[in-house]
Structures are given as C-alpha cells and as structure tokens.
Amino acid sequence: MNNEPRLPAGQRLTEDWPILHYGSIPSISLDEWSFKIDGLVENSIDINWSDFMNLPQTKVVSDIHCVTTWSKYDNQWEGVLINELLKICQPKDNAMHVMFHSYGGYTTNVPLKDLQFDNVLIAHSHNGSTITSEHGGPARGVVPHLYFWKSAKWVNRMEFITEEQAGFWENYGYHIYGDPWKEERYSS
Ligand SMILES: Nc1nc2c(c(=O)[nH]1)N[C@H]1C(S)=C(S)[C@@H](COP(=O)(O)O)O[C@H]1N2
Ligand SMILES: [Mo]
C-alpha cells in the first residue's frame, strides 16, 4: 500500500511492554472514577464509569512508538473513540487544541484535528485484558500516530482550548507535537 517502513527511524522493536511515567501510580477505584470534558465545547460532560462503559465501544489495533526509542506492534485497544465523545460534547469553532489531564496531575496537549481519526480513543482494555494501573487504568488516552507520551495514563479530563499550550513533558523540552515519523522527539 505504501513504501513507508513500519518502524520509524531511531526506534527498536520490543516484545514486552515497558512501564514509564513520572511520579507514582494513582489508584482510582471504578466507583470514584470520573471523566470530564470542558472548555470550548457546547456540552460539557462529567460521566462516571458506567456512563463511560455504556458509550459505543470500539476495538482498534495500532503500534506504539515511545520517544525513549522502543516500539511495540499490534496493540489491540478497546474503549470509546474520541470521535464518539466529540459527537456528544460538540467542540466550538474556536476549539483548536485539547489538553488531556490525568489523575496525579499529568497533562499533555494534542491538536483537535489529531484526535479525529478512527483509531484515537480513551481505552480501558489492551489485548483483551483490563488495562492495569501500571499502564494507566482504569482508562488512558491512545493517540497512536504521535509518540506515546501523548497517550495520557489515568486520564480524567479533556479541556478544549484555542491556543496551543505545553503539557507536562512538552514543558520539559519534549516536542510540542511529537510525530515519530519526523523524529520530533525534543524541541530545539
Ligand atoms: N498520566 C501519565 N501519563 C503518561 C505518562 C506519565 O508520566 N503520566 N508518561 C507518558 C510516557 S512518557 C509514556 S512513554 C507512556 C508510557 O505508557 P506505558 O507505561 O503504558 O508504557 O505513558 C505516557 N503517559
Ligand atoms: Mo515516554
């Protein structure tokens, strides 16, 4: 179909799944879990776990590319497509970027247009099993065409904004966009 290699430059394939995050693992029970969408949207939402699980569920398969140079192929994710959430919250015309917020305080920024693909989701399962807390459960973002730091573990909020703002790692020198095919690892 295309002549692009599957492995981006500077990456090496791994079979295991490294655990990487800043700080400690927040433990969130499903009873207390909530997910909010706010900022520049017509309909703000604040849903609990059963609301989330009652939204249309989708399975997608994608590759992971971490900026620390490991890649992992064929990850099956299950959860709610961000496109489904966009139908409900209806971003306003001036909403151009989204800041993901997580339990524990992590943030990462992604342009809204990069969330409008049918493999970008808020996932609760990986390869048929519930995502463990080490890997971001109860739920994490998955934005497969960007480096994996853009996939927020323990995600609990999407904030729609106009201007691009730097999230946690972006503030510490990671690239503002993070395209693995252009090796956008760090800002210069
Ligand atoms: N909440 C949160 N999400 C996060 C991070 C983090 O520190 N906190 N680290 C990011 C980075 S740098 C990577 S490489 C991936 C690692 O996900 P994994 O531990 O499931 O492999 O999570 C991303 N999401
Ligand atoms: Mo990372």
Profile the chain (188 residues) by mean pLDDT over runs of 10 residues.
84 97 97 98 98 98 98 98 98 98 98 98 98 98 98 99 98 98 95
pLDDT score at 1? 52
Cα-Cα-Cα-Cα dihedral sign, residues 39, 90, 180, 124: positive
The predicted pLDDT at position 188 comes to 76
> Which among 151, 156, 157 is the best mutation to test ligand 1's pocket, defined by most ligand atoms within 8 Å of the CB?
151
Number of the ligand 1 atom closest to the C-alpha atom of 23: 7
Amino acid letter for position 47: I
* Interval between CA 68 and ligand 2 midpoint (Å): 6
Q: Which residue, by CA, sits nearest to atom 2 of ligand 1?
A: 153
Say which DSSP state 162 is in.
S
Supply the Cα-derived Rg of the chain in whole angstroms.
16
Q: Which domains does the chain have, with CATH numbers?
A: 32-182 (3.90.420.10)
Closest CA to 155 of 172, 146, 166, 142: 142
**Model pTM greater than 0.95?**
yes
- Ligand 1 first shell, C-beta below 6 A: 17-22, 66, 102, 104, 106, 135-136, 148-149, 151-154, 169
